[in-house]
Structure 1
Amino acid sequence: MGADTPMSADTPMSADTPMSADTPMSADPPKAVGIVWGLLVLNTLGSAGAKTIVPLPRSLIQMVTMGALVTAFALALTLNHRLRIRASAYLSLLTLLLVTSVLSSAHLESGLGALFRCARLALFVGTLWLLSRWWDSGPTFVRHHIRMYFAVLGSVAAGLVVSPGAALPDLYGGRLVGAVWPLTPPQIGQYAAVIIGLAVLLLLGGRTDRAGAAVIIVPSLVLLVLTHTRTATLGLLVGLALAIGSLLLTSAAARRFVTWAVLCAAVAAVAFSSALAEWFLRGQSEENFSSLTGRAKVWDALLAAPRSTVEQLFGVGLGDKSFGGLPIDNSWLAVYQEQGLTGVVLVAAIIIVLGGVALLRPPSLSRACAIFMISYCAIASYTEAGLGDASPYLLHLAVAASLLAAPAAADPLATPEGPRPRSARRAQRSEVI
């Protein structure tokens, strides 16, 4: 969504060629950009979750995550010391949300911790601004996103192998948790669903081969199933349906995928209907299921709580996304609680603007990946908090914004390149994610 250059029109794809596989790309950003992105991912992992194999004090985890954010900002500033940034509606709205957060937290109604969270959000947004220099609608940040979260899932798999009892504790109903780093089932499910969806789209777009995609998709799918996370599963299915649907008219690969997906879904629905229903219900009672595992009770109490006009407009300041000691587990209500109606309007504007820009783009792999990320975040926002503070969801949307940015202008001093040989194009498509 860059505003420093005219809005791009991604190269339309023919029905017989990979999606944008041969589209010339701008110069690759420094490899250190991937390190910055990995540090941002580390910062948003959080410090609360299941008991780990080796006990990690929460204070130590918080030092690591905050240290990662400070390091990410410093490294991004070093890489972009001339402060070259690309204007972005997403980052502009995120900056306004930061200002709203500071105004709501200044009253200290949520304690000094609110100002600390504002400082964290400021570093987070500032780092994204510095990275925006390399947002050019290419798949660079998609690959960084997949690799970093796959590394996180690798730690989850390691914990499952080393200590199955700690990774599948009774406290969480036998659902998979992080036994190396404290991660909850919804977190693991989110990471798995996002990289599965992106890997599928890269495969359909000819940006990786089947072996490379399988390395990501198969183990991530196993971990997703073990988490029993309904929101992540629904977000994955709906997000992929919308993303692939945007390619049906221009991509033969997308049409073939839809055909096989429908056939496999029909077979699974007939052969494994009882197992799927059992997995979906997770052994919950009808009352517990209808109240969304108790979330609805917290939501009702939050909405019924008395508020002053200022609190309605600006909230009570950044907190831990809880109300009455219980997690809110809804992005819109969490934003309403902490940043008021102003914050809700800004978050809605972020989703609407990104979605609107994606719909205006011609069919392309970048557009499909952006649609997947936006739709996933919109679906997950109903039962997960995070759209109003530094979180994986804001990183997901940042990836979408980078995919919707106008391609960077070519360097006039660069040597013009002729058509790439077929072997180079094949190497690009075979690159491991």
Structure 2
Amino acid sequence: MNTDRTPKIVGTVWGLLILNTLGSAGAKTIVPLPRSLIQMVTMGALVTAFALALVVNVRLRVRTSSYVFLLTLLLVSSVISSVHLESGFGALFRCFRLALFVGTLWLLSRWWDGGTTFVRHHIRMYLAVLGTVAAGLVASPGAALPDLYGGRLVGALWPLTPPQIGQYAAVIIGLTVLLLLGRRTDRTSAAVVIVPSLVLLALTHTRTATLGLLLGLALAIGSLMLTSAAARRFFTWAVAIVAVVAVGFASALQTWFLRGQSQENFSSLTGRAKVWHALLAEPRSTTEHLFGAGLGDKSFDGLPIDNSWLAVYNEQGMIGVCLVAAFITVLGGVALLRPPSLSRACAIFLISYCAIASYTEAGLGDASPYLLHLAVAASLLATPAAAAPPQAPDVPRRRRVPRWAQRTEVG
């Protein structure tokens, strides 16, 4: 194990990174918050996180990490694609933000030791975010369930969209279930996290988060079944419950899943497919094909792309796509090569969730919650730092007696 204990300030740094990735666009809040103010808070959180990480790791001790190294290469590629200013000066600002984000991860990598420390930080911080969502729902149900979003749950105190809330809820539910199976938390503490998060997830009607949670947990628990009796029991009960619910509440589940959409709208993934086809049909030069148009707001012709791979292709080109595929492949490959353990199961859940969500959500090419999820996976897959060998106590050296003195004593 790593004998260098994780300072408490590291949890604060992680919370500031999460605050930075909450974004500034979303539903209308109870108290109107100017977007400039929100951007000032989120960017200030990132600068503060980097400064605190630098203070706590003033000697710049870092651990080798393929994930952060590939992120650094992605940053370099993003700078190259953004210097042409096709996306305006905002592209360079986003590169600066990504540089601070990646630099903070490098500074925190010193405490990546394969333990669950960052998993707990992740759960606590996102539970606090969901606490603001629940508080907004209690304070103003109308603002939290607006007609503009089809009655789906949004953030009424901080502008959060239904997919964001669903993502946060699904991730902490999955991680808490795995901690419970690994006996790293008790049932009461797990229930405090899981039950309200499930309610909020259901109110968001977020299909991507729900599927990511179910499939990610299935893969993660499957990796524990050979070595954990608790995992085998949970998997058996979960399959039985899902089968009963699927049969008994098929109509209600279908209604929840369709969210009142027509068959045509559902088949086009709520209009996403039209944006994707238009993006791929856009003529591009060789430079744009390789490096993209520079970091932007993950939109095309004013419409959200909502696909990580196409967003990366549009902004960072095929080089960016290859780098994103590389760090997901590396993390997944390392996870498969590790022996069964709780850390490995949590990493598999996070990697699989991000891979599933990447089809209908953007974020793998820029500072985002998805990169933080994968950073937690990287911390779980890191090998523990070798402890320094114990030093032998100082023993006074025995004085050697000359031979002539020995002969004198004998004589």
Is TM (by shorter chain) over 0.5? yes
Matched, 1:362 2:372: no
Contact 1:26 1:407 in 2 (8 A): no
Greater gyration radius: 2
Per-residue Cα deviation, 1:220-261 (whole angstroms, up to 9, x for no partner): 000000000000000000000000000110000000001110
Structure 2 CA distance for partners of 1:414 and 1:312, relative to 1, 3 Å: farther
Q: Distance in 2 between matches of 1:405 and 1:196?
A: 23
Q: How does 1:168-247 map to 2 (within 5 A)?
A: 168-247=145-224
> 3-state DSSP class of the match of 1:83?
coil
Q: How does 1:156-171 map to 2 (within 5 A)?
A: 156-171=133-148
Per-residue Cα deviation, 1:139-172 (whole angstroms, up to 9, x for no partner): 0000000000000000000000000000000000
Bigger relative contact order, structure 1 or 2 (CA pairs below 8 A, ≥6 apart): 1
Q: Which amino acid aligns with 1:293?
A: T
Tell me the TM-score normalised to structure 2 length. 0.94
Deviation at 1:28? 3.0
For structure 1, list consecutive stretches of 5 or more residues without a partner in the other structure.
1-23, 416-433
Q: How does 1:397-412 map to 2 (within 5 A)?
A: 397-412=374-389
**Structure 1 partner of 2:71:** 94
Q: Distance in 2 between matches of 1:267 and 1:352?
A: 36
**Structure 2 partner of 1:106:** 83
Structure 2 CA distance for partners of 1:211 and 1:411, relative to 1, 3 Å: farther
Q: CA RMSD in A?
A: 1.1
Q: Distance in 2 between matches of 1:222 and 1:229?
A: 12
**Structure 1 partner of 2:283:** 306
Contact 2:292 2:316 in 1 (8 A): yes
1:46 to 7, 23, 27: 23
* Structure 1 runs (4+) greater than 6 angstroms displaced: none
Structure 2 CA distance for partners of 1:107 and 1:260, relative to 1, 3 Å: same
Contact 2:363 2:369 in 1 (8 A): yes
The alignment of Structure 1 onto Structure 2 pairs a total of residues equal to 392
Q: Distance in 2 between matches of 1:224 and 1:392?
A: 17
Q: Distance in 1 between matches of 2:250 and 2:220?
A: 26
**Structure 2 partner of 1:270:** 247
Deviation at 1:262? 1.1
> 3-state DSSP class of the match of 2:113?
coil
Q: Which amino acid aligns with 1:93?
A: L
Q: Distance in 1 between matches of 2:300 and 2:391?
A: 56
Tell me the TM-score normalised to structure 1 length. 0.89
Q: Distance in 2 between matches of 1:126 and 1:238?
A: 32
Contact 2:290 2:319 in 1 (8 A): yes
Structure 2 CA distance for partners of 1:189 and 1:253, relative to 1, 3 Å: same
2:329 to 349, 352, 355: 352
Contact 2:221 2:231 in 1 (8 A): yes
Q: Which amino acid aligns with 2:205?
A: H
Q: Distance in 1 between matches of 2:342 and 2:384?
A: 14
Matched, 1:144 2:121: yes
1:291 to 243, 268, 278: 268
Q: Distance in 2 between matches of 1:88 and 1:283?
A: 45
Q: Distance in 2 between matches of 1:266 and 1:404?
A: 33
**Structure 2 partner of 1:394:** 371
For structure 2, list consecutive stretches of 5 or more residues without a partner in the other structure.
393-411
Contact 1:159 1:178 in 2 (8 A): yes
1:55 to 10, 19, 32: 32
Q: Distance in 2 between matches of 1:94 and 1:222?
A: 35
Q: Distance in 2 between matches of 1:254 and 1:183?
A: 34
Contact 1:50 1:178 in 2 (8 A): yes
Q: Distance in 1 between matches of 2:2 and 2:66?
A: 23
> 3-state DSSP class of the match of 1:240?
helix
**Structure 1 partner of 2:359:** 382
Matched, 1:127 2:89: no
Q: Which amino acid aligns with 1:388?
A: G
Q: Distance in 2 between matches of 1:41 and 1:330?
A: 21
Contact 1:354 1:401 in 2 (8 A): yes
